[in-house]
Amino acid sequence: MTTKHQLPHHSMADLAAPISPRLSTEGVPRKLEIDGDRVRNGLAQLVLTLVKLLHELLERQAIRRMDSGSLTDEEIERLGMTLMRQAEELDKLREVFGLKDDDLNFNLGPLGRLL
């Protein structure tokens, strides 16, 4: 049985929020407070974002190779099936962690959205 971990939409800056120093009266960190659930969910979001980015890069490369004619019909079929299965697995993992597709599209500030 899988459990869902709810994670609200965050930006890259929010990923550091689960780890916040506790300051003494002098402003010096005394103790580091770590929220384990937020760290786990933030890490899952980051890893799934990287996997999705790699998946999209692989898809683009496959399209370039198909357009150039460097793949046989059998290779195209195999590549298509592999990419489809990979996308399905990514969707399953995204659901396990309660993420929407947009949660994997980080805002990079002036550079715009990642995906």
Q: What is the pLDDT of residues 38-97, one digit of tens each?
A: 777 888 889 999 999 999 999 999 999 999 999 999 999 999 999 999 999 999 999 998
- Grade residue 1 by pLDDT with cuts at 50, 70 and 90: very low
Position 28 scores a pLDDT of 59
In sequence order, what are the residues at sequence separation of 6 or more whose Cβ sits closer than 8 angstroms to the Cβ of residue 13?
A: none
Are residues 10 and 42 in contact, defined by beta-carbon separation less than 8 angstroms?
Answer: yes
Cα 49 to the chain's mean position, in Å? 2
pTM of the model: 0.64
Are residues 104 and 14 in contact, defined by beta-carbon separation less than 8 angstroms?
Answer: no
- Grade residue 2 by pLDDT with cuts at 50, 70 and 90: very low
In sequence order, what are the residues at sequence separation of 6 or more whose Cβ sits closer than 8 angstroms to the Cβ of residue 33?
A: 19, 20, 21, 22
Are residues 97 and 41 in contact, defined by beta-carbon separation less than 8 angstroms?
Answer: yes
Six-digit token string for 36:
């384990």
Position 10 scores a pLDDT of 54
Position 9 scores a pLDDT of 53
